[in-house]
Structure 1
Amino acid sequence: MVVGRITISDAPVLETPISLHPTSETLIYPYFSKMIRGRHALPLKYIRWCNYNQWCNSISMEFTNPMLFIRSRVFLWQEGHTAHATKEEAGVEVLEILELYRRLYEKYMAVPVVKGKKSELEKLVGGLYTTSVEAFIPNTGRGVQGATSHCLGLNFAEIFGINFKDKKGDKAMVWQKFWGFSTKVIGVLMMVHGDDRGLVLPPKVSKVQVIVIPMPYEGAGAKELPNTCLNTVQTLLDMGIRAEADLRENYSTKQKCSHWEMKGVPLRIEIGLDDLGNKQVWTVRRDNGEKVDVPLAELADRVKVMLDNIQQTMFDLAKQKRDACTIVNKTWDEFIIALDQKKLILAPWCDDVGTCHFIRSIL
C-alpha cells in the first residue's frame, strides 16, 4: 500500500512503527545531477573530486533465517558511487573495485574467493550487470557473497537527470557504477577460519597480533618478570608488530591463554623464570598450536617471520579445503548429488532466465 510518498511494508505490524530511509541512490544522485555539467567533471569518483563513499547502518525489510553477521536485521554497510562518460570507463572501474575486494579477502583475511559476474536474476535490480567475489564455507557447503561491484548503466542517470555535455556539445547521460560490502565480511572470516576454541584471526587483520603472558612465578626474580614482558612488548611495538601484555593478577595463566585463544590472537608468547635464565621465550601459534622456543635476542625478527608464515598458512589451508570440496558436473543428476554432498560445483551455465526460474523453484 502506498500513502503519498511513503510505502507501508507488508511485514508484520510493529507495536512501535519505524521509518526507514530510502536506498542511497535517492539520497546521493540528486547531488550528482547538480554537480555534473560538462565532460570536464567526469569521471566523478573518489580520485578526481572526493570520495563518494559512505558507511551507514542499514535495515533489511526482507528478513528470514537470521545468522550473526551473515544475515541480520541491522548491519553496517559500506558503499561507493561513481559517474563516467562512457560504458567502457565504467566497466574498467567495476573490475578495479572488484579486484580491490579480492585483495581484501585473500591478502588480508586469508580467505580464497572467486571473482565473477552474477546471473540476470541475481544482479542488482535496476542495474546493467553485477560482479561479485564469492567465498565458500566447507563446513556448511554454502557459498557467501563477499562483496559486489555493479555497473548501473544509464538507468539511474535517466531517472535522476544526471547528464552532461559531451565533446560535441550534445547532451548525454552518464554511466554509473556502485560497489559495496557489509559486516558480512566478519561472518565469512569467522566461519572459514574459526574452530571449536573460538576465533582464528589472520595477523594482518588482528587488532592484537601477539599477546605476551607471564607464567606463574614466586621467589627471587619474580618482580623482574612483568618488566621483561613489558620490555618484550615494547621491542615488538618498535618493529611495527601489534603486541600487548596480559599482566592481570586475578586470572590464572590457563584462563589468560583460553581468553586470548578464543579471541583468535595469532601468536602467544609465554615467559617464565626459567625462560629468563635461559634468555628465551615460549611461542604458541593459534592457527596450528605449534610451540617453539625462541632466543630473546632473535625474538623480533623471528616473530615477524612467524606472523608472515601464519598469514600464508591460513590462506593455503582455506584454499586446500575449498578445492577439496570443488567438483565438476556436466549432468543434472550429478549436480543434485554434489549439491546434497555440500560441494562447490562447477557446471555448464546457459544464463537463460526461464531455466534460472525453473532451477530456483526446485532448489
Structure 2
Amino acid sequence: MSSQSSKKSATAISPTRGENYAEWYQQVVKAADMAENSPVRGCMVIKPWGYSLWENIQRVLDDKFKETGHQNAYFPLFIPLSFLQKEAAHVEGFAKECAVVTHHRLEVGSDGKLIPTGELEEPLIVRPTSETIIGDAFARWVQSYRDLPLLINQWANVVRWEMRTRMFLRTAEFLWQEGHTAHATREEALEETMRMLEVYAEVAEQWMAVPVIKGEKTAGERFPGAEQTFCIEAMMQDRKALQAGTSHFLGQNFAKASEIRFLDSQGEQQYAWTTSWGVSTRLIGGLIMTHADDDGLVLPPKVAPVQVVILPIYRTQDDRSRVLEYCHAVARALRSQRYAERPLSVQVDERDERGGDKVWHWIKKGVPLRVEIGPRDIEKDALLVARRDRAHKDKQAIPRGEFVATVTTILESIQEALFERARSFREQHTRRIDTRQEFYDWFTPERVQDNEPTPIHGGFALAHFSGDVQLEAQIKADLGVTVRCIPQDGSESGICPFTGAPSQQRVVWAKSY
C-alpha cells in the first residue's frame, strides 16, 4: 500500500487507504453492500453479499470439522450466572463484556411506557462463550472412557459488550463457531488443540489467501482459564495484526469446574482433559483488510459468492435479445465447470443500468472475473475479460471456447496472486530487531508537516522476549504493542533487548485489532 495520497477522483473508494485507513475500511464495506449498522448500538445487519461470503467460509470450515470427526450441536444462548462463577479466571476475563438478563416480563406502566417486571431468581448471561454451559452438558454425557473423545462444534452467535465497535471486526454481537472437546488424556487433548489450529491456518491460507503465522499466546494474552492458547495471526494493510483464530488447551480446569469425570479402563475416576477453539465473522474483516484496494473489495475466488459476472453490453432492443441469449449460453457453459469443490458461481447482470455503472458495481463488490459481451464480441465469438486483482482497465479478449476451458486456471491464478501479494507485503513490513531503541523507533510514527504523507513505519517486529508479564504490559502502555504470538517455527537463543535476560525464541510483536 502506497503512503502517497491518491486523488479522490481516481478511485472508487474515498478516502483511500493512505488518507484514512479506518474510514476507507468502512467505505469498502458500504460500497460492497456487505453490512450496515443496526439500531442496536454496536450490532450490525449482515446483508446478503456479506452473509454469502460467511456461508462460503462456514461451508469449508464445517466440512473440515466433520472430516476430523466432529459433530454439530446447539446449546442455550442464556447461561446462569452461577455457571460463570465456577471458573474464577474465566469469569474475571469476561465479566466486563457480559450482557445480563434480569427480568422475564414487560408491563405497561401508568405513563404508557413498557417497564421490566418479573425479576429472575438468578440472572442469566447472554452467551459470551460457551465453555461453562457446554461443560455442564459434557458432565452428563461423559461417564466412561468409552464416551471419549467427545468432539462437538456449535455454530452460533455470541454477545460481548464492546465499547468501540467496527463492522465485522469488533461488534457487540457476532457470528462464530466454537468447538468443544473432551479427552481421556492430556496428550490427546493437546493433539486436538494443534489439529484445529492447523485447520484454521489451512482455511485462512488456502481458501481466503490470507498468510498467517501460527504460534502460542503469552500468559498475558492467554484465553481466561486456559493452560495454553494457540493462534493464527495475519498482517493487515495498515501493518497491524489481526488474530484470525484461536485454539485453547484447557487442561482440566473446566472439567473440574463442571465435574466432567469418567471411569478409566482401570475403574478409576478421572477428570477429562478439554479443548475449545473458534473463529468468527472477524475473518471477513481480515479478508477485507488483507485484499481490498482503493476501488473496493477484492475477493479470493475460492470463497467469492460470485466468481464470474457477465455484463451484457448493447444499445438497441434487437441487440439486447441476441446478447442476453449469448450471455446465458456462456453462463451455462461456465457453470458446468467446477472450482474449489463446487460448480462455478456465475451471474448475468441484466439490470437496466449504464455499462460503466455496472462495471464499477462489480468492481466494488470484488468479483474475481468480469466478462463483458457485446454484439461485436458475439461476431468474433470472443469475450472481454477483466481480473479483479489487476487494474480495472486491464482487459483481455479471449475466444469463448478457450475461456470456458481455462476459467478455473485463471481463477486459481488470481487466488495464488492474492496470497503471494499479501505474503510479500508481510515480509516487507517484518523486521528482526535486537535493541530497545530500534524497537521503540519501529513502532513510533515520525512527525510530519501538515499535508505530507506519513512515512511507513511499524509492522511485525521479531524480537527476543524474556517472558516478563509486567514488561509486556509496560510496552503495551507505551506503544500499544503486544506479543501477538510465539511462533512455532523453532527456537533461537538470544538476549531480551528490554531486560538483558536470556531468551529462547523471538516472538512476534505488533499493534493489533
TM normalised by structure 2 equals 0.65
The one-letter code of the counterpart of 1:43 is P
Query: Would you say 1:145 and 2:247 are equivalent positions?
Result: no
Provide Cα deviations, 1:125-163, integer angstroms capped at 9, x if missing partner.
Answer: 11110000001113x221110000000000011111101
What are the within-5 Å matches in structure 2 for residues 210-289 of structure 1?
A: 210-218=308-316, 221-239=319-337, 240-249=343-352, 251-289=353-391
Cα pair 1:20 1:59 within 8 Å, conserved: no
> Who is 1:350 aligned against?
466
Quick one: distance in 2 between partners of 1:280 and 1:337?
Answer: 55
Cα pair 2:369 2:385 within 8 Å, conserved: yes
Query: Would you say 1:80 and 2:179 are equivalent positions?
Result: yes
The one-letter code of the counterpart of 2:368 is P
The one-letter code of the counterpart of 1:252 is R
Quick one: distance in 2 between partners of 1:144 and 1:222?
Answer: 47
RMSD: 2.4
Match of 1:185 among 246, 263, 283: 283
The one-letter code of the counterpart of 2:131 is E
Match of 1:117 among 216, 240, 262: 216
Quick one: distance in 1 between partners of 2:250 and 2:387?
Answer: 45
Query: Would you say 1:59 and 2:163 are equivalent positions?
Result: no
Quick one: distance in 2 between partners of 1:215 and 1:342?
Answer: 46
The one-letter code of the counterpart of 1:352 is D
Provide Cα deviations, 1:198-255, integer angstroms capped at 9, x if missing partner.
Answer: 1000000001000001112337655211100011111001112110101112x11111
Percent of aligned pairs with the same amino acid: 36
Quick one: distance in 2 between partners of 1:76 and 1:155?
Answer: 26
Query: CA 1:339 to 1:212, structure 2 compared with 1: closer, same or farther past 3 Å?
Result: same
> Who is 1:44 aligned against?
150
Cα pair 1:87 1:153 within 8 Å, conserved: yes
Tell me by how many angstroms 1:186 deviates.
Answer: 0.5
Point out the more displaced range, 23-32 or 117-126.
Answer: 23-32
> Who is 2:198 aligned against?
99
Match of 1:28 among 108, 124, 134: 134
Quick one: distance in 1 between partners of 2:250 and 2:154?
Answer: 18
Cα pair 1:59 1:74 within 8 Å, conserved: yes
Provide Cα deviations, 1:169-195, integer angstroms capped at 9, x if missing partner.
Answer: 111111000000111101000111111
Tell me by how many angstroms 1:74 deviates.
Answer: 1.4
Provide Cα deviations, 1:91-149, integer angstroms capped at 9, x if missing partner.
Answer: 111111001100111001101010000000101111110000001113x2211100000
Quick one: distance in 1 between partners of 2:296 and 2:125?
Answer: 35
Cα pair 2:389 2:414 within 8 Å, conserved: yes
Query: CA 1:296 to 1:4, structure 2 compared with 1: closer, same or farther past 3 Å?
Result: closer
Cα pair 2:99 2:160 within 8 Å, conserved: no
Tell me by how many angstroms 1:13 deviates.
Answer: 12
Structure 1 residue runs of 5 or longer lacking an equivalent are: 46-51
> Who is 1:196 aligned against?
294
Query: Would you say 1:156 and 2:261 are equivalent positions?
Result: no
The one-letter code of the counterpart of 1:198 is G
Point out the more displaced range, 155-164 or 217-226.
Answer: 217-226
Helix, strand or coil: the match of 1:200?
A: coil
Point out the more displaced range, 114-123 or 3-12.
Answer: 3-12
Structure 1 consecutive aligned stretches of length 4 or more whose deviation exceeds 4 Å: 3-19, 219-222
Cα pair 2:314 2:323 within 8 Å, conserved: no
Quick one: distance in 2 between partners of 1:212 and 1:121?
Answer: 51
Quick one: distance in 1 between partners of 2:188 and 2:147?
Answer: 14
Query: CA 1:70 to 1:221, structure 2 compared with 1: closer, same or farther past 3 Å?
Result: closer
Quick one: distance in 1 between partners of 2:405 and 2:175?
Answer: 37
Cα pair 1:127 1:150 within 8 Å, conserved: yes
Cα pair 1:83 1:90 within 8 Å, conserved: yes
Quick one: distance in 2 between partners of 1:276 and 1:243?
Answer: 19
The one-letter code of the counterpart of 2:406 is R
Query: CA 1:16 to 1:189, structure 2 compared with 1: closer, same or farther past 3 Å?
Result: farther
Query: Would you say 1:339 and 2:440 are equivalent positions?
Result: no
Point out the more displaced range, 333-342 or 107-116.
Answer: 333-342
The one-letter code of the counterpart of 1:218 is T
Match of 1:301 among 405, 409, 425: 405
Quick one: distance in 1 between partners of 2:130 and 2:99?
Answer: 25
Cα pair 1:217 1:272 within 8 Å, conserved: no
Quick one: distance in 2 between partners of 1:355 and 1:199?
Answer: 39
Point out the more displaced range, 15-24 or 333-342.
Answer: 15-24
Query: CA 1:295 to 1:347, structure 2 compared with 1: closer, same or farther past 3 Å?
Result: same
Tell me by how many angstroms 1:361 deviates.
Answer: 3.1
Structure 2 residue runs of 5 or longer lacking an equivalent are: 1-79, 86-94, 102-113, 117-122, 338-342, 445-456, 480-513
- How many equivalent residue pairs? 352
Quick one: distance in 1 between partners of 2:158 and 2:397?
Answer: 48
Quick one: distance in 2 between partners of 1:203 and 1:4?
Answer: 44
Point out the more displaced range, 149-158 or 334-343.
Answer: 334-343
Quick one: distance in 2 between partners of 1:151 and 1:221?
Answer: 63
Cα pair 1:213 1:246 within 8 Å, conserved: yes
Quick one: distance in 1 between partners of 2:474 and 2:386?
Answer: 52
